[in-house]
Amino acid sequence: MTSTDPFAAAEAATAADRDAAPQFVLPLVVRLEREAPPARTDALETSARAVLTFLSDERTTGDGEWAPARRDWEDARIRKVVRRARGAEWRRAEALPGITVGGREALVRVYPPIPLDGWPKELAKLQVSGTELCDPHPSAAGTLLVPELPVLWLNPRVEMSAGKAMAQTGHAAQLAWWELSDEERTVWRDQGFALAVRTASATRWAELTASGLPLVRDAGFTEIAPGSATVIADHPALRS
């Protein structure tokens, strides 16, 4: 006779319900000009801020024009796909309804969710794989962090392309957003969704995984194994 963990069974049932629902995806496009690509950390931070900007936009809530698409998307898995564009591709992508968010150098445009197989032709043509970026000045990505700054910590043992990592930091930011109160969300929005993305040390990652903070586990559709822990969202308001 075997026993069943009721919590694990409930989680599996919830996942099955999500997978049975029609699947939607949140498209993000990063501007990637050949001569002047953004730094990797800047792109990851900007992607997370773009997701938060979308979630807080009045068009995505209540009776907003994008609210039904958002609800359909959140009822299933919160898939995000990052594609890259340059030159005329970027101009065509920018002409579609969406929101462009800028970082120090990076530009990321986020769009209302679409069916998994319903990409508009202007975005369907864009490349989804091979988005590689680097930090020309690695020391800038290792600067000291103030305690009040939310940090999205990357798993030091998981290697991801820049595009994949941008989607994962977007997931982490969204998980943090869901756990905040309305007042805490307003404060973060008024701060311009200030945040940092850093790679944790092995010791720090072990501490974070035991902290109860929001943790992203990838579904395994691309690049990495299903269930891989990729990012932890360390927001001051969520620290115990």
Its sign, for the CA torsion 211, 43, 134, 167, is positive
| 68 confidence band (pLDDT: 50, 70, 90) | very high
Which residue blocks in 138-227 are alpha helix, DSSP H? 162-179, 182-190, 202-209
CATH number of the structural domain spanning residue 190:
3.40.1490.10
Residue 29 is inside which H or E element, if any? strand 24-31
Q: How far apart are CA 140 and CA 41, in angstroms?
A: 9
Domain-embedded: residue 123: yes
Domain-embedded: residue 215: yes
| Mean of all residue pLDDT scores within the chain | 89
- pLDDT of res. 221: 80
Q: What is the pLDDT of residues 89-136, one digit of tens each?
A: 999 999 999 999 999 999 999 999 999 999 999 999 999 876 789 888
- pLDDT of res. 107: 98
Per the CB < 8 A criterion, the answer to whether 161 and 23 are in contact is no
- C-alpha distances (whole Å) from 106 to each of 28, 50, 117, 120, 127 are 13, 11, 27, 23, 17
- pLDDT of res. 18: 60
Report how many domains make up the chain.
1
Q: How far apart are CA 200 and CA 135, in angstroms?
A: 16
Domain-embedded: residue 8: no
Domain-embedded: residue 175: yes
Domain-embedded: residue 14: no
Query: 7, 172, 54, 31: which is closest to 102 by C-alpha?
Result: 31
Domain-embedded: residue 4: no
Question: Does the pLDDT of residue 11 top 50, yes or no?
Answer: no
Task: Give residue 215's domain range.
Answer: 23-238
Global pTM reads: 0.89
Domain-embedded: residue 72: yes
Question: Does the pLDDT of residue 15 top 60, yes or no?
Answer: no
- pLDDT of res. 77: 86
Domain-embedded: residue 80: yes
Q: Average pLDDT, stretch 214-239? A: 91
